[in-house]
Structure 1
Amino acid sequence: MTTRPPTPSRRALLRALAALPAAALVLGEAPGLLGTALAAAPAAGAATRYTIVPFLDSDDGTVNVYQSDDATDFRLLRSAAYTPPSNRIRDASVFKHTDGYYYVTYTTHTWQDPSLTIGFARSSDRANWTFLYDYPVPITNLSRAWAPEWFVDSDGSVNVIVSCSTADDEWIFTPYLLRATNSALTAWSSPVALSGIGPNHIDTYIVKIGSTYHAFTKNETAKYIEYGTASRLAGPYTLTKTGDWAGWGSYREGPSVIQLDNGGWRIFFDGYGDGTYYYSDSYDTFATWTAPKGLPGISGTARHFTVIKETVTGGPALTKNATRSLRSANYPTRYWQEQSALLNLPVVSGSSAAADKQAATFTVVPGLADANAYSLRDASGKYLRHYSFRARFDADDGTSTFARDATFIARTGTTSDAIRFESYNYPGYYLRHYAYELRVERPDGTDLFRQDSSFVPVSPWA
């Protein structure tokens, strides 16, 4: 039996039901609720889209734009998408404003040089960016203004949290709050230090759930990402988790927190000490976290980013309460087929035996854990689920664990008619074939994995 992510308690779900987070990621995202009518998976014909705008480990003068439908497998949207007219671009934070534009704010100088401004640019499509202005942060005796992070509060106000130091000690940073005083984001309030976090903290990222502000901030002395809460955006914050409290290790920075489609929360952070970009998930409102994993594909290339999440049109859809067969996208003579309760990928053709055709035919139904997602049944009524990462068919035992194991979120495949099936309770893990067996595995960032995990729904064999 594999180790499973923690399951949200009923009490946690009830708290989430009453909460409406407005995080630094996107305005108006409601929390995902596992197993409730407020499903977090995208509806048929819609898709989730995560966007990041990191600068490169090899070049802090430009940024790439990547997108993902699962917050794990990021693909390049445009390389060198934005280069400022002067200075550098580091630590870019991105959000989508109510005017329909995407905005980035960023550090304008290298770490060696004084940096008295933060930069702003905007885009209508995330691929083409226009420089707006460099904003001089009005702090007396300022030495460095670093890592500005967007935060949109539940009242709609747009804020930037920026880490600043003064010439008295250029390496002791304090987080300050700037609030936009016009909708064009060209005028800002006077900086206010976040109370309670204190000096020598940098890269402060804030998420709001209900009436509570949750801050993730790097202790620049200890090199750990710490955590605290407050009832007001400006504080006072109480830092309750310090040291290696989450098991992420030291020399970590640039935290960014986003909610996943299954209701869990994911943190991304830059492991600058070992050159790896990490992610880790929580299912109990940030109390515990899964072991950190390197982000496939872009780890070692991307540096310090934040994430926005959107629901967009054009997602894959399967007709529910209908029978289908599933054909491999890259081995078109091979189909899903149940063999001794396991899901394999043999050749199926018109000359195959009737029993083989029946074993390659499945009923698509609403997901057991999320009605917007999908579950699949065989002819006997058993459900496709993962167990020890192997795809198999078992009778529903009525437990929430089984329901999550047997639920999959449809993601876009490598061809227009193909679908990828993401595990509901192991975000970022997909059904893929290997040696003609179906397993649930994590992407490695390659096109081969994407092809191996893409399947085309076709007319049923039986």
Structure 2
Amino acid sequence: MTIRPPAPSRRALLRAMAVLPASALVLGEMPGLLGTALAAAPPSGSATRYTIVPFLNSNDGTVNVYQSDDATDFRLVKSSAYTPPGNRIRDASIIKHTNGYYYITYTTHTWQDVSTTIGFARSTDRVNWTFLYDYTVPIANLSRAWAPEWFVEGDGSVSVIVSCSTTDDEWIFTPYLLRATDSALTAWSPPVALAGIGKNHIDTFVVRIGSTYHAFTKNETTKYIEYGTATHLAGPYTISRTGNWAGWGSYREGPALVQLDNGAWRLFFDGYGDGNYYYSDSYDTFATWSTPKALPGVSGTARHFTVIKETVSGGVSLAKNVTRSFRSANYTTRHWQVQSSLLNLPVVTGSSTTAEKQAATFTVVPGLADAGGCSFRDAAGNYLRHYAFRARFDANDGTAAFARDATFIARTGTASGSVRFESYNYPGHYLRHYNYQLRVEQTDGTDLFRQDSSFVPLTAWA
């Protein structure tokens, strides 16, 4: 559960709570992520799929389902995909279990109400959900049980971390660990409090990498997301980064992590102070982070979600070590062509000169930075890369930086048979034509951008 309802009165309450002595909300969250999962471009014929099931800023009685192939451009799969038979649904956490079912667990009441249960629902396809049960968390004098969050260990064992308060102080929350004792996820061990995060925190989100558990948690006094580590899921955690250590700013909460295809970790969080939903990436195991950006499409609509990542069938099949030409999906007479080392999109036809056809022919090779991705070589042996976000061809200088600049991940395009090429080292940025020039630009979540960044592989002109 996060403290970010739309009503101003709630925010006023939270600001007032910040002055309470050494007290506020602690909440634990963990997705169905395995810290040992490998990150790589999806193999030919497969695709990466990220799924979120958020409740809405305008309605905490239902959830939508969105999916994305790049963790940036989330598209609506189904609105009002699940509405519980009673109560509300907030802060839904999603996993795929070893039995093949998808499960969500969620908060069953609004923030104003006493809430001693957490809800469970199940799906075969992530889209259509069936209510399972409401579970009363067995804590004496329980007042509120918020934001149950799945955590899956490397051996497949399943836990839920839920943040609970008692009637003696309904706004002082502590995270508790519940371990599933049956494969059907209907029986749970007695709650055990996590240790070390401390009071006056909320929205603790943990991932495991190797033998270390990494926790991201909002300090409800300072309004900053903090960071700590532990060697056991139950703690004790040591908080080592506080204040604006990552450059995300204050009034941020609901952190949720997922690992991208290029190995980076992406953190999503709710900027409830300004109404946006943000993401930020780390390439050095959480030491530094990119400047946060608003998540296109769902920012301002989606509330408190976690993310599951899967590799699924039906992705792009683009043969390697084969020469191809590439036509714009929405400007069907225009093709990629090298012009003075830059990649442009002029008209190329059967009557074009031999030189023009040769300049519009490229060899698709395994990605220089990731063989599952792709790189493109022109007739002169130079490689397509982005430089100052402009697409151009340069000689390979053998550096890791060049390899990353020259590697792209193939994603499904908008038109039949078309492909989108996502930058390997700038996730969510695509080769896109603008004024008939090719650039690497960040997706804005619009259909026009998707069309402008879709290209059809063709038999080579030369």
Matches within 5 A, 1:35-54: 40-54=40-54
CA contact (8 A) 1:224 1:243 kept: yes
Separation (CA, whole Å) in 1 of partners of 2:388 and 2:120: 47
Find 1:25's aligned residue among 28, 32, 50. Answer: 32
Does residue 295 (structure 1) correspond to residue 302 (structure 2)? The answer is: no
Residue aligning to 1:244 = 244
Residue aligning to 2:10 = none
Deviates more, 1:191-200 or 1:92-101: 191-200
Separation (CA, whole Å) in 2 of partners of 1:81 and 1:28: 29
Task: Tell me the amino acid that sits aligned with residue 285 of structure 2.
Answer: T
Separation (CA, whole Å) in 2 of partners of 1:212 and 1:110: 34
Task: Tell me the amino acid that sits aligned with residue 390 of structure 1.
Answer: R
Residue aligning to 2:283 = 283
Q: CA deviation at 1:29?
A: 5.8
**Secondary structure of 2:134's match?**
strand
Residue aligning to 2:26 = none
Does residue 460 (structure 1) correspond to residue 460 (structure 2)? The answer is: yes
**Secondary structure of 1:190's match?**
coil
1:149-168 deviation digits (Å, cap 9, x = unpaired) = 11001232101111111112
Residue aligning to 1:180 = 180
Change (3 A) 1:310 1:29: farther
Q: CA deviation at 1:28?
A: 8.1
Task: Tell me the amino acid that sits aligned with residue 392 of structure 2.
Answer: R
Q: CA deviation at 1:362?
A: 0.3
Separation (CA, whole Å) in 2 of partners of 1:100 and 1:264: 27
1:407-446 deviation digits (Å, cap 9, x = unpaired) = 0000000023000000000011000001111000111111
Does residue 117 (structure 1) correspond to residue 124 (structure 2)? The answer is: no
Q: CA deviation at 1:24?
A: 2.4
Residue aligning to 2:333 = 333
**Secondary structure of 1:458's match?**
strand
1:319-354 deviation digits (Å, cap 9, x = unpaired) = 110100000000010000111110010110001111
Aligned residue pairs, count: 433
CA contact (8 A) 1:26 1:310 kept: no
Task: Tell me the amino acid that sits aligned with residue 417 of structure 2.
Answer: D
Task: Tell me the amino acid that sits aligned with residue 294 of structure 1.
Answer: A
Residue aligning to 2:24 = none
Residue aligning to 2:19 = none
Does residue 323 (structure 1) correspond to residue 330 (structure 2)? The answer is: no
**Secondary structure of 1:70's match?**
coil
**Secondary structure of 1:119's match?**
strand
Residue aligning to 2:62 = 62
Change (3 A) 1:130 1:27: farther
Does residue 205 (structure 1) correspond to residue 205 (structure 2)? The answer is: yes
Separation (CA, whole Å) in 2 of partners of 1:199 and 1:154: 29
Change (3 A) 1:103 1:29: farther
Unaligned runs of 5+ in 1: 1-22, 33-39
Q: CA deviation at 1:27?
A: 5.1
Separation (CA, whole Å) in 2 of partners of 1:325 and 1:446: 26
Separation (CA, whole Å) in 2 of partners of 1:357 and 1:59: 55
**Secondary structure of 1:185's match?**
coil
1:238-292 deviation digits (Å, cap 9, x = unpaired) = 0111111111111111111010000110000111111100000001100110010
Residue aligning to 1:142 = 142
Separation (CA, whole Å) in 2 of partners of 1:145 and 1:132: 18
Task: Tell me the amino acid that sits aligned with residue 228 of structure 1.
Answer: G
Q: CA deviation at 1:181?
A: 0.6
Change (3 A) 1:27 1:213: closer
Q: CA deviation at 1:231?
A: 0.5
CA contact (8 A) 2:34 2:209 kept: no
Q: CA deviation at 1:172?
A: 1.4
Separation (CA, whole Å) in 1 of partners of 2:37 and 2:311: 11
Task: Tell me the amino acid that sits aligned with residue 25 of structure 1.
Answer: G
Task: Tell me the amino acid that sits aligned with residue 439 of structure 1.
Answer: R
Task: Tell me the amino acid that sits aligned with residue 30 of structure 1.
Answer: A
Task: Tell me the amino acid that sits aligned with residue 383 of structure 2.
Answer: Y
1:71-101 deviation digits (Å, cap 9, x = unpaired) = 0000111110000001110011000000101
Task: Tell me the amino acid that sits aligned with residue 87 of structure 1.
Answer: N
Matches within 5 A, 1:33-432: 40-432=40-432
Q: CA deviation at 1:26?
A: 3.9
Separation (CA, whole Å) in 2 of partners of 1:238 and 1:375: 43
Deviates more, 1:165-174 or 1:328-337: 165-174
CA contact (8 A) 1:429 1:442 kept: yes
**Secondary structure of 1:244's match?**
coil
1:95-153 deviation digits (Å, cap 9, x = unpaired) = 00001010001111111111111110010001100001111111111111111111001
Separation (CA, whole Å) in 2 of partners of 1:406 and 1:86: 52
Task: State the TM-score, normalizing by the size of structure 2.
Answer: 0.92
1:192-240 deviation digits (Å, cap 9, x = unpaired) = 1111012222222110000001111111222211111000111110011
Unaligned runs of 5+ in 2: 1-29
Task: State the TM-score, normalizing by the size of structure 1.
Answer: 0.92
CA contact (8 A) 1:366 1:375 kept: yes
Separation (CA, whole Å) in 2 of partners of 1:459 and 1:154: 45
Residue aligning to 2:18 = none
**Secondary structure of 2:42's match?**
coil
**Secondary structure of 2:403's match?**
helix
Separation (CA, whole Å) in 2 of partners of 1:379 and 1:155: 50
**Secondary structure of 2:317's match?**
coil
Deviates more, 1:197-206 or 1:415-424: 197-206
Q: Percent identity?
A: 79
Separation (CA, whole Å) in 2 of partners of 1:105 and 1:233: 19
Task: Tell me the amino acid that sits aligned with residue 236 of structure 1.
Answer: P
Separation (CA, whole Å) in 1 of partners of 2:292 and 2:379: 39
Separation (CA, whole Å) in 2 of partners of 1:198 and 1:228: 11
Change (3 A) 1:47 1:29: farther
**Secondary structure of 1:171's match?**
strand
Separation (CA, whole Å) in 2 of partners of 1:288 and 1:27: 21
Separation (CA, whole Å) in 2 of partners of 1:219 and 1:174: 13
Separation (CA, whole Å) in 2 of partners of 1:269 and 1:157: 27
Deviates more, 1:393-402 or 1:192-201: 192-201
Separation (CA, whole Å) in 2 of partners of 1:25 and 1:438: 38
CA contact (8 A) 1:266 1:280 kept: yes
